[in-house]
């Protein structure tokens, strides 16, 4: 009896399952509605506008570009007067790309101006309603890369032979400026570097994002360098060796990379043009092409950024109660009074303003209120890591040091490189 009862229940269950399944003809048709993909650039849906893409041409000015695209003069004046710190209309650079987003109506007046300062950073001037100006940046992906090499003639050649960004060479020269003389490298010296590359939209290369760690073997002596933020309040990042010793000095050797001294500090200088009269030169001149970046040689606060007489455009920085520096004859300044600058920050560009016979920066150095020759000064070491941070530093670098030590040295002869490419 139980056997038949179980069979009946099974049949009832099967029939019930079949009844629950709708007939094929009764199935409702499912329609998938795909939403249109909205692609945004610079924070705007470009499909909402008529887009004009161009680059700044010789003779272009911001005012003329805007007037040509039907922006009222009062709005143009407001940008130049009220938003100078965000966008200085006098400093648009020939060759820089820009976008003008126009209305899609018959008037086609410019509603938004987007100026690309560099591949990552851009400035937006929004003319809709009240004028608004702001800076922004594209989303950047950082990719860590490991490279190594053996010196045959120079560091730059070893870097370039592997298709590595030349800025890696510059960064390493800065990191080891007080430790290794890169003009006197030996054949067989070798290096390892861990650094980050920047990419926009995953594919567009946008330069290096800084060196995480490096190892340089010069004359068979090893030199480690590890990136570490020593002062989070001021955002100061230094490079230290494996024993937490700072690799830099408080001051850079010179305010311009890869420059040459065209005139030294000389209190007994006499110039033929002035009838060989005594004309002391209390600065050190570094010659370089116009537009070459001028770097702050140490951390400090800008106390002057102006133009005056024979000095031309200049910047003066107070580093502490003992030291100050001044940088003369700039084409233009990149900082203003009151700004805090870090060692290596670009504070202006080489020019020929004031009394000068060629493009250079006259670098002046004060110690206790007296101008001195920085090349003869025994400059102080940079701030060491605070005792309270040493344990944190050593824990921070431990896995990175293992990573560096595991990188094998590569030495591709040029003929092999051609085969690989």
Q: What's the pLDDT score for residue 229? A: 87
**CA pair distance 321, 319, nearest whole angstrom:** 7
B/e letters for 110-145, b = 16+ CB within 10 Å, e = fewer, are bbbbbbbeebbebbbbbbeeebebeeeebebeeeee
Same topology between domain 40-137 and domain 140-249+408-420: yes
| Sheet strands (E) in 34-139 | 40-41, 44-45, 50-55, 97-102, 110-116, 121-126, 132-137
Q: How far is CA 45 from the centre of its chain?
A: 28
Judged on CB neighbours under 10 Å (0-12, 13-18, 19+), 330 is buried
* CA–CA–CA angle 300, 306, 308 (5° rounding): 125
**Average pLDDT value for residue range 302-327:** 94
200-211 tens-digit pLDDT = 988 889 889 889
Among 59-63, 133-137, 368-372, 378-382, the least confident range: 378-382
Q: Which among 74, 186, 178, 85 is positioned nearest to 131, based on CA atoms?
A: 74
**CA pair distance 239, 142, nearest whole angstrom:** 20
Local confidence band at 248 (pLDDT 50, 70, 90 cut-offs) = confident
Most confident of 281-290, 333-342, 354-363: 333-342
**CA pair distance 217, 223, nearest whole angstrom:** 6
Q: What's the pLDDT score for residue 269? A: 60
Specify the higher pLDDT residue, 1 or 236: 236
Q: Does the pLDDT value for residue 259 go beyond 80?
A: no
Q: What's the pLDDT score for residue 25? A: 54
Q: Which two tokens stand for residue 79?
A: 């940008």
Q: Which among 311, 332, 325 is positioned nearest to 374, based on CA atoms?
A: 325
User: Which CATH number does the domain 140-249+408-420 belong to among 3.30.70.20, 1.10.10.10, 3.60.40.10, 3.10.450.350?
Assistant: 3.10.450.350
Could you count the other beta carbons within 10 Å of the beta carbon of residue 343? Answer: 20
Q: What's the pLDDT score for residue 17? A: 44
**Average pLDDT value for residue range 350-367:** 91
**Average pLDDT value for residue range 159-167:** 84
- Are 201 and 420 spatial neighbours (Cβ–Cβ below 8 Å)? no
Q: What's the pLDDT score for residue 63? A: 93
394-408 tens-digit pLDDT = 999 999 999 999 999
Q: What's the pLDDT score for residue 33? A: 58
Could you count the other beta carbons within 10 Å of the beta carbon of residue 334? Answer: 17
Portion of the chain with pLDDT greater than 70, in percent: 83
How far, in Å, are 174, 237, 252, 281, 287 from residue 343 at the CA level? 10, 10, 8, 25, 20
Instruction: Give first-to-last CA distance, the chain, whole Å.
Output: 84
Q: Where are the domains of the chain?
A: 40-137, 140-249+408-420, 260-372
Local confidence band at 161 (pLDDT 50, 70, 90 cut-offs) = confident
Q: What's the pLDDT score for residue 9? A: 42
How far, in Å, are 115, 154, 294, 308 from residue 288 at the CA level? 28, 22, 10, 22
260-372 is a CATH 2.40.50.100 domain: no
**CA pair distance 99, 54, nearest whole angstrom:** 7
Mean pLDDT of the chain: 84
**Domain 40-137: assigned CATH number:** 3.10.450.350
Most confident of 12-16, 171-175, 270-274, 417-421: 171-175
Q: Does the pLDDT value for residue 120 go beyond 80?
A: yes
Q: What's the pLDDT score for residue 213? A: 97
Among 11-15, 180-184, 243-247, the least confident range: 11-15
Q: What's the pLDDT score for residue 14? A: 43
């Amino acid at each position: 009896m139980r056997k038949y009862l179980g069979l009946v229940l099974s049949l009832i269950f099967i029939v019930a399952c079949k009844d629950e399944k709708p007939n094929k003809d009764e199935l409702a048709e499912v329609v998938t509605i795909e939403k249109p993909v909205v692609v945004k650039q610079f924070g705007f849906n470009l499909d909402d506008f008529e887009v004009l893409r161009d680059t700044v041409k010789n003779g272009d000015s911001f005012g003329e570009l805007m007037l040509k695209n039907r922006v009222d003069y009062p709005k143009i004046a407001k940008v130049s007067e009220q938003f100078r710190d965000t966008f200085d209309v006098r400093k648009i650079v020939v060759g820089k790309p820009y976008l003008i987003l126009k209305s899609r109506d018959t008037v086609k007046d410019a509603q938004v101006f987007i100026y690309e300062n560099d591949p990552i950073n851009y400035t937006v001037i929004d003319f809709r309603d009240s004028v608004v100006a702001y800076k922004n940046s594209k989303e950047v992906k950082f990719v860590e890369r490991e490279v190594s090499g053996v010196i045959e003639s120079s560091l730059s050649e070893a870097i370039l032979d592997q298709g590595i960004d030349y800025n890696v060479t510059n960064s390493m020269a800065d990191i080891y400026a007080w430790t290794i003389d890169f003009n006197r490298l030996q054949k067989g010296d070798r290096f390892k570097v861990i650094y980050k590359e920047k990419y926009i939209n995953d594919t567009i290369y946008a330069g290096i994002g800084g060196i995480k760690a490096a190892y340089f073997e010069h004359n068979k002596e090893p030199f480690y360098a590890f990136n570490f933020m020593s002062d989070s309040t001021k955002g100061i990042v230094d490079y230290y060796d494996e024993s937490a010793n700072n690799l830099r000095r408080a001051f850079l050797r010179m305010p311009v990379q890869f420059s040459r001294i065209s005139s030294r500090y000389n209190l007994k200088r006499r110039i033929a043009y002035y009838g060989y009269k005594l004309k002391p030169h209390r600065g050190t001149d570094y010659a370089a092409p116009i537009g070459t970046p001028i770097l702050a040689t140490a951390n400090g606060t800008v106390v002057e950024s102006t133009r005056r007489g024979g000095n031309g455009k200049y910047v003066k920085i107070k580093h502490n109660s003992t030291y100050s520096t001044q940088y003369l004859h700039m084409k233009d300044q990149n900082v203003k009074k009151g700004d805090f600058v870090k060692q290596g920050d670009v504070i202006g560009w080489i020019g020929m303003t004031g009394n000068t016979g060629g493009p250079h920066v006259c670098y002046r150095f004060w110690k206790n209120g007296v101008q001195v020759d920085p090349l003869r000064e025994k400059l102080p070491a940079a701030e060491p890591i605070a005792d309270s941070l040493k344990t944190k530093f050593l824990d921070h670098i431990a896995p990175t040091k293992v990573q560096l030590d595991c990188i094998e040295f590569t030495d591709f002869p040029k003929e092999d490189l051609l085969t690989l490419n």
